[in-house]
Structure 1
């Protein structure tokens, strides 16, 4: 992929040539504002995946830890596969004009995808694990947890799309705060409570994820509902340093 991108940059007549007229001063100029947007955007995504790693360790504290860890690996791989679409949707929303309309359509598309993923996981729960293992105990855990994981996907797909709207409006730090609140102040205590205190076990870890995705989606929707889209359009003009006629075009295209 990287080699292909370099070839495109080199031979394309329309792509920006980053090496043209570059000096050491110009290379490192303006990194502060870029990192201020880039690092929170990275953390916004990583916070959720770090939760999966933490829960992977927690599953080793349950009864039959070998089977629980193995089943957790299967489910994390499944989640990663399903996550491709909402993450791509999030990226597309973050770069679209007519931001308000794009956000509404994106979140609705994510919701529809999440519901379809939920249905697929229920339909395929009895044989999905067989793609990975023939161990009956692992298969039993995967079968029991897949519907719960599918339920969480309804919120996950929608809130991932909403994250794209926050990133596109240069507010990734808001997404970071929401993900910290959802995954570390709600989901971790909930997962521990369900799995260990209420003795639900392996499924209890995933019930905590449902609570996280629901709370994350609610906070995302509340934040976007409070958004002044015309103000965000003006901010976008300032951040991209649009000038001349392009300023007027950007202002009319960013909001309906």
Structure 2
């Protein structure tokens, strides 16, 4: 939902309506905090929900325990995303990069203290996330308060933040759905993998694959954020030709980055699994999955930069419809394969890796 600030703040900044950026940020924090309450309730009962879906009890209880300790981080992460986009749409990126770098370095120490030193295990890892998010947002909030570069865009708390919330939601909800529809399709595969004969292995491998995609998608995510800011600024300033040129440049960069990342993933496919597990079975499984992931990354890169362009234009609803069309096409292809399957021949075949591990396009998200 915070990604709608890329449209609102970006175009307001380009149009010279600087005071609106602070109002939009406050409004977004208010809405995200209320939404986080609802999400927190779901998180509190995650273990029981997973059991209802037939998941392995040990996996369900472990996930439920971890996510409950992540609830404090949830209420910090929303404001953090709002602060990042508030600065990003003003082309103020160095403070964001610096605060993220400091937080990342300290996160290692915090994790070691909570997980190893105090023996809190995965609970400590969840708590470390909340502490790091809090440190990051505190640094950014302090910068916004004292920096001369934000003097015209942050004028203090305003009652206007409580107005026009409905119109804000009309843009925020499609912004959220364009991310959720993609991520949920991938998370659903993790959920389904827990129903297979060896759920611990299957869920582990698929989770590692999704984590790998999340790691690789950071580069196109940055490109998408950059083009979103550039397009929204140029459109707000009434310069359509500049927005068109920036779009062409980012498409070339997105394709090049996708090819490079895809080749890199292929080159490390036989050793990548050791970054997550010492189990040989898991490592070999990951190696067989990497070619599929490398292909998906190429398309993900293009999808990510295109998402940034759409956000900059404020056309999130069109992107939402595009994602739905993609899901429908995927469903029809899988249905056709299922209908044409000769089940008698399948019985006699040696069993390959389950086809459920094919990963659909995961556009981060962004955001």
The normalised TM-score by structure 2 is: 0.51
The one of 198, 201, 204 aligned to 2:355? 204
Alpha-carbon deviations, 1:11-43, whole Å to 9, x = none? 1223122425x23xx221233333222221222
Count, aligned residues: 208
- Cα distance in 1 for partners of 2:221, 2:141 equals 24
- Cα distance in 2 for partners of 1:194, 1:202 equals 17
| Aligned 8 A contact 1:149 1:206 in 2 | no
Deviation at residue 131 of structure 1 after TM alignment: 1.0
| Aligned 8 A contact 2:186 2:359 in 1 | no
Match status 1:120 vs 2:253: no
**What does residue 10 of structure 1 align with?**
145
CA RMSD across the alignment: 2.7
- Tell which deviates more after alignment, 101-110 or 33-42: 33-42
Match status 1:134 vs 2:278: yes
Long gaps (5+) in structure 1: 217-256
The one of 2, 8, 19 aligned to 2:156? 19
In structure 2, the CA distance between the partners of 1:132 and 1:126, relative to structure 1 (3 Å rule), is same
Alpha-carbon deviations, 1:112-165, whole Å to 9, x = none? 111111101110000000111122221221110111110011111001100111
In structure 2, the CA distance between the partners of 1:107 and 1:93, relative to structure 1 (3 Å rule), is same
- Cα distance in 2 for partners of 1:189, 1:55 equals 17
SS at match of 1:133: coil
Match status 1:47 vs 2:181: yes
In structure 2, the CA distance between the partners of 1:88 and 1:201, relative to structure 1 (3 Å rule), is farther
In structure 2, the CA distance between the partners of 1:88 and 1:103, relative to structure 1 (3 Å rule), is same
- Cα distance in 1 for partners of 2:338, 2:188 equals 14
The one of 315, 318, 329 aligned to 1:171? 315
| Aligned 8 A contact 1:148 1:203 in 2 | no
In structure 2, the CA distance between the partners of 1:77 and 1:190, relative to structure 1 (3 Å rule), is farther
- Tell which deviates more after alignment, 110-119 or 197-206: 197-206
| Aligned 8 A contact 1:190 1:208 in 2 | no
The normalised TM-score by structure 1 is: 0.72
Deviation at residue 193 of structure 1 after TM alignment: 7.4
- Cα distance in 1 for partners of 2:335, 2:143 equals 49
Aligned pairs (5 A) from 1:150-161: 150-161=294-305
The one of 226, 248, 254 aligned to 1:110? 254
- Cα distance in 2 for partners of 1:189, 1:208 equals 16
- Tell which deviates more after alignment, 10-19 or 75-84: 10-19
| Aligned 8 A contact 1:71 1:142 in 2 | yes
Long gaps (5+) in structure 2: 1-135, 235-241
In structure 2, the CA distance between the partners of 1:69 and 1:145, relative to structure 1 (3 Å rule), is same
- Cα distance in 2 for partners of 1:191, 1:136 equals 31
Deviation at residue 191 of structure 1 after TM alignment: 6.0
Deviation at residue 73 of structure 1 after TM alignment: 1.2
